[in-house]
Chains A and B, each alone.
Chain A
Amino acid sequence: MRRPAGRTAIALAAVAVAAVSLLPVAYLFLTGISLGDVVAQFAYPATADALAQTIGLTLLIAALSLVLGVGAALLVVRTSLPAPRLFTVLFTLPLAVPGFVSAYAAFSAQLTYAPRLGLVTSFGGAAVVMSLTLYPYVFLPSVVALRDVDPALEEIATCLRPGRWTPLLRVVLPALRPAMAAGLLIVVLHVLAEYGAMVQLGRSTLTTKIMAEMLDYGDYQSARSLSLVLMVLSAAVLLGTRVLTGRGRSGDVARGASRPPRRIRLGRLRFPVLVIASAVPLAAVGPTVFMTVRGLTGSARGTAVDWGQVGAALSTTLGYAAVAALVATTVAAPVAWWVTRRPSPASQLTERAVWLAHAIPAAILALALVYLATRLVPGLYKTWVVLVAAYVILFLPLAVASQRVGLDATRQAYDDVAASLGAPPLRTLLRVTLPLALPGFLTGALLVALDASKELTTTLMLVPFNADTLSTRLWATTNGESLDFTAAAPYAGMLVLLGALPVYFLVRATLRQVQLPHPPPPPRVPARIVVNSPS
């Protein structure tokens, strides 16, 4: 067991990390906002409308992402869907595409083929487009969590209450709750802070209002006041989902030696399910890939692609993303360890605090960092250090959430057993805890790298002079307005390819935790659950 001194050090480190990530939030108050400013915003009817639309979109996208994410995870891990590995990759692929790119691709495809349809710019259409880009955040943790369900529990449940759906409803879904909550939190905070995609989809949310205040009116006071409203909303979500994750874990019977999960045989449903399963990733990334290829090969290409410029942007992007992932992984560790190993109001609040910065629009966060960096570390302003710090603050929650899943896969009891057998703490960490938690840590690092390489708003403001990332170059081709898939195609294509790489590693890290069947399971049994014979 760890000595209390070590534990205190971790707790202190966690609190310090949370404090630093709350700095940008403090900026909102430093610049002086009164409650009156906030209330004054509601004198305009559009503010309440935007608030209502924000809440509505958030709820709908959360629900859709949950259905898509959990459904896809169940299909891949718990049914006889063919090629589960391939489908795991396909289901994760939407993560590779920046939100504003897929939104514009959908908009642009509609404009090209059905200009009067107005589907993707409707409330429901926008929610579907957004959900298709965000559900992988629910899908990935759900895949991992499904492994954690001991088949023995399901057998017990079936014995106690016979029925086809008993294991799913009584054991599997409840066990998925922490994973669903973690994924949903990421989805919801993304929706709350999303700007580019929402504008392209014609939606008016608190964040688009905040950006309009800054960009169209230069009214930063109003922007900060609205940000405060957004933050209250986010804080409510954070505390709300804490109630979800705060519940105890489901039990298990024989951990560490659990059998492969039981699979539902699709039988005659195999073909329709296959079609639906293929349609989801196709709808999510299809328009982007199609518009990109069309842009790269179209006859209207005026200027040749400057691949040297593309290459420079690519290496810059890779460098920043890699360093951000490294730093975020390091500083997330004490927070994740503290909250999983020593759950207490203090550790849980600290963990929630890390999320708060994720919930304010990136432009406000960037302004806050400009303000703070020019005052605290002027020498580092407009160097990669401040930009990487911004990425770390923005995406730290992704690392913390994944590390929690990883640390949950190992147990305090294992550490205790190791200690009782005489292993010193460091040896326990290296030989017991780390190997079990490693996939979670890697997943977190990859998610951070992925989001950092797609980030635009903060990057525009903080990137060193004369440096470009793939997304800022992509943005430059838009002239601040509409994406033009002719000029943007090389950068969009490169971003998607670059994104596909971490997606591949993510899936590998995830699959390492999940046993998928190698030999195809025996055919013939109609759509019902096959109970594995005890091995």
Chain B
Amino acid sequence: MTPSLSRRVLAGALPVLLAATLAACGTASGDAGEGPTLTVYTDQHAELISKLTQAYTDKTGVRFDIQNDATVGQLEAEGSATKADLFLSEDPTPVAQLGAAGLLAPVDKATLDQVRPGLSSPAGRWVAYAARARVLVYNPDLIAADELPKRLADLAEPQYKGRFAWAPSGAFVATTQYLIATEGEPATRTFLDAVKTNGVNELKNGNVRDTVEAGTHAMGLTNHYYWWILATEKGGPDQLASRIYHFPEVDPGNLVLSSGAGVLKSSPNSAPAQEFLAWLSSADGGQQIIAKDPSAQYPVTPGLASAIAGDLSDIKAPPFDMDKLADSAQAENLLKTLGMSSG
């Protein structure tokens, strides 16, 4: 009875639906061309990944199946059934976690050697292909450049109370983990307490940028590219009310975090996958695309700068073993205990 019901009700619509579905499904999955198809799991900006893979397809004929907004959780849930050949992360944490779980095959040494030192996995589990820096953005209408903190730690000072925004993003968790690793838990806790007291939690890095630009806050802790993306959209840095600021000396506030790429151990396409990584991190391959991309991330090969955000070497970043982010339980626990976690 119920089937006949829906049949009756919707019989007229059925051909239309089928046509729509076929149209919808026609776009899925590679139509078995020449060469292998690589399955890329990624949480990078979708537009950038699309550009990179398209360029590689044009050059080599290798095709791609792309899972955007991928998470380690999805890979874990898929278990041995996963189709993923590669993981291209946005922040270092997912590839660090996959590496620590023993799911990544070592990256070819020649590939790792193409990249500036200190950005890839020290254990060679993943290679950096892009980078982002932590920055302070500020609104000159509300704070003069010479009043800005000289170090991240200065934000704990009373004169900055109520004057800056921050967001408990993945990069903030990474900063916390970095501080715990370098300065110890007690000092980190003291600093975070001060951030909580002095700062305003705007929940997302994008909101930090927008509220500083709008004049809600004098300063904000965010990632460099948020500001540059807005600057590009508005027609250049001069069109913005806010400014970007890198701490003058080597400082945790200048922390640089890599986007990492790794090949899954379970991949049946490891050779073409490694070739793709070599191209992705080479100065005349993927790095050219990243250098010009409006997402304003830094390319990672020596001598190449972002056309928008400039050269990574200008940032005085502290050294950091990003594989340490595989286990950020300490940072997580501390942030949660202080009531500074997101969500």
Seen from chain A, the residues whose Cβ lies within 8 Å of a Cβ on chain B are: 6, 10, 13, 44-46, 49-50, 108, 111-112, 115-116, 118, 199, 202, 204-205, 208-220, 223, 300, 302, 312, 315-316, 318-320, 322-323, 326, 329-330, 333-334, 337, 367-368, 370-371, 374-375, 378, 381-384, 425-426, 429-430, 434, 438, 441-442, 445, 460-461, 464-467, 472, 475-476, 478-482, 484, 486
Nearest-neighbor residue (CB-CB) of A429 within chain B: B1
In the bound complex, what is the Cα–Cα distance between A472 and B67 (angstroms)? 11
Can you list 21 pairs linking A and B with CB atoms under 8 Å apart? A44-B336, A108-B210, A111-B214, A112-B214, A199-B343, A212-B341, A215-B71, A217-B173, A315-B24, A318-B20, A319-B20, A319-B22, A322-B20, A330-B3, A370-B77, A384-B25, A434-B8, A464-B25, A464-B27, A465-B65, A486-B233
- Known interface pairs A212-B343, A300-B233, A302-B233. Does A384 touch B24 (Cβ–Cβ under 8 Å)? yes
A316 touches B5 (CB 8 A): no
B237 is an interface residue with CB less than 8 A from chain A:
no
In the bound complex, what is the Cα–Cα distance between A179 and B205 (angstroms)? 42
In the bound complex, what is the Cα–Cα distance between A479 and B48 (angstroms)? 10
A214 touches B81 (CB 8 A): no
B60 is an interface residue with CB less than 8 A from chain A:
no
A438 touches B9 (CB 8 A): yes
- Known interface pairs A214-B71, A434-B5. Does A484 touch B233 (Cβ–Cβ under 8 Å)? yes
Nearest-neighbor residue (CB-CB) of B73 within chain A: A220
B99 is an interface residue with CB less than 8 A from chain A:
no
A465 touches B66 (CB 8 A): yes
A212 touches B342 (CB 8 A): yes
In the bound complex, what is the Cα–Cα distance between A10 and B46 (angstroms)? 46
B10 is an interface residue with CB less than 8 A from chain A:
yes
Q: Chain B contacts of A213 at CB under 8 A?
A: 343
Encode contact with A along B139-176: 1 for CB under 8 Å, 0 otherwise. Answer: 00000000000000000000000000000111001000
Nearest CB of A to B325, in Å: 10
B27 touches A466 (CB 8 A): yes
A215 touches B170 (CB 8 A): yes
Nearest-neighbor residue (CB-CB) of B170 within chain A: A216
Which of A112, A204, A217, A320 has the most chain B CB atoms closer than 10 A to its own CB?
A217
Encode contact with A along B8-38: 1 for CB under 8 Å, 0 otherwise. Answer: 1110011011001111110111100000000
A467 touches B78 (CB 8 A): no
Encode contact with A along B63-79: 1 for CB under 8 Å, 0 otherwise. Answer: 01111110111101111
- Known interface pairs A319-B21, A326-B17, A464-B25. Does A374 touch B77 (Cβ–Cβ under 8 Å)? yes
Q: Chain A contacts of B47 at CB under 8 A?
A: 476
In the bound complex, what is the Cα–Cα distance between A429 and B9 (angstroms)? 13
Nearest-neighbor residue (CB-CB) of A195 within chain B: B343
In the bound complex, what is the Cα–Cα distance between A240 and B340 (angstroms)? 34
Nearest CB of B to A384, in Å: 5
In the bound complex, what is the Cα–Cα distance between A495 and B207 (angstroms)? 24
In the bound complex, what is the Cα–Cα distance between A486 and B235 (angstroms)? 13
Q: Chain A contacts of B14 at CB under 8 A?
A: 326
In the bound complex, what is the Cα–Cα distance between A323 and B71 (angstroms)? 27
B10 touches A465 (CB 8 A): no
Nearest CB of A to B66, in Å: 6
B324 is an interface residue with CB less than 8 A from chain A:
no
B339 is an interface residue with CB less than 8 A from chain A:
yes
B68 touches A374 (CB 8 A): no
A374 touches B81 (CB 8 A): yes
Q: Chain B contacts of A208 at CB under 8 A?
A: 342-343
Comparing B89-97, B107-115, B185-193, the segment that makes contact with chain A is B89-97
A45 touches B28 (CB 8 A): no
Q: Chain A contacts of B69 at CB under 8 A?
A: 460-461, 475, 480
Contact of B21 among A312, A384, A429, A465 (CB under 8 A): A384
A481 touches B24 (CB 8 A): no
- Known interface pairs A216-B173, A461-B74. Does A467 touch B5 (Cβ–Cβ under 8 Å)? no
Seen from chain B, the residues whose Cβ lies within 8 Å of a Cβ on chain A are: 1-6, 8-10, 13-14, 16-17, 20-25, 27-30, 39, 43, 45-47, 64-69, 71-74, 76-79, 81-83, 90, 93-94, 97, 168-170, 173, 202-207, 209-211, 214-216, 226, 229, 232-235, 294-295, 328-329, 332, 336-337, 339, 341-343
Q: Chain A contacts of B72 at CB under 8 A?
A: 218
Nearest-neighbor residue (CB-CB) of A374 within chain B: B81
A476 touches B233 (CB 8 A): no
Contact of A482 among B2, B6, B210 (CB under 8 A): B210
A115 touches B21 (CB 8 A): no
Nearest CB of B to A46, in Å: 5
Nearest-neighbor residue (CB-CB) of B20 within chain A: A319
Nearest CB of A to B4, in Å: 8
User: Known pairs A319-B23, A476-B68. 20 more at Cβ < 8 A?
Assistant: A46-B341, A118-B216, A199-B204, A208-B343, A212-B342, A217-B328, A217-B332, A217-B341, A218-B73, A316-B27, A326-B10, A326-B13, A326-B14, A374-B77, A382-B29, A434-B8, A461-B74, A464-B25, A479-B206, A481-B205
B343 touches A465 (CB 8 A): no
In the bound complex, what is the Cα–Cα distance between A475 and B232 (angstroms)? 20
Q: Chain B contacts of A216 at CB under 8 A?
A: 168-170, 173, 341-343
Closest 9 CB pairs of A and B: A212-B343, A482-B206, A319-B24, A115-B214, A464-B28, A465-B65, A319-B20, A481-B206, A208-B343
Nearest-neighbor residue (CB-CB) of A217 within chain B: B332
A467 touches B27 (CB 8 A): yes
Contact of A316 among B23, B74, B233 (CB under 8 A): B23
- Known interface pairs A315-B23, A326-B10, A466-B66. Does A371 touch B226 (Cβ–Cβ under 8 Å)? no
Q: Chain B contacts of A49 at CB under 8 A?
A: 339
Nearest-neighbor residue (CB-CB) of B336 within chain A: A44
Nearest CB of B to A98, in Å: 16
Nearest CB of A to B82, in Å: 8
A214 touches B20 (CB 8 A): no
Q: Chain A contacts of B4 at CB under 8 A?
A: 426, 429-430
Q: Chain A contacts of B66 at CB under 8 A?
A: 465-466
Nearest CB of B to A301, in Å: 9
Nearest CB of A to B132, in Å: 12
Which of B77, B79, B169, B170 has the most chain A CB atoms closer than 10 A to its own CB?
B77
Which of B3, B16, B173, B210 has the most chain A CB atoms closer than 10 A to its own CB?
B210
Nearest CB of A to B221, in Å: 14
A44 touches B339 (CB 8 A): yes
B204 touches A481 (CB 8 A): yes
Contact of A370 among B74, B232, B343 (CB under 8 A): B74
A329 touches B28 (CB 8 A): no
B78 touches A370 (CB 8 A): yes
Q: Chain B contacts of A384 at CB under 8 A?
A: 21, 24-25, 28
Q: Chain B contacts of A381 at CB under 8 A?
A: 78, 81
B10 touches A382 (CB 8 A): no
Nearest CB of B to A393, in Å: 16
In the bound complex, what is the Cα–Cα distance between A371 and B9 (angstroms)? 35
Q: Chain A contacts of B45 at CB under 8 A?
A: 476, 479-480
Nearest CB of A to B39, in Å: 7
B29 touches A44 (CB 8 A): no
Contact of B235 among A214, A300, A467, A475 (CB under 8 A): A300
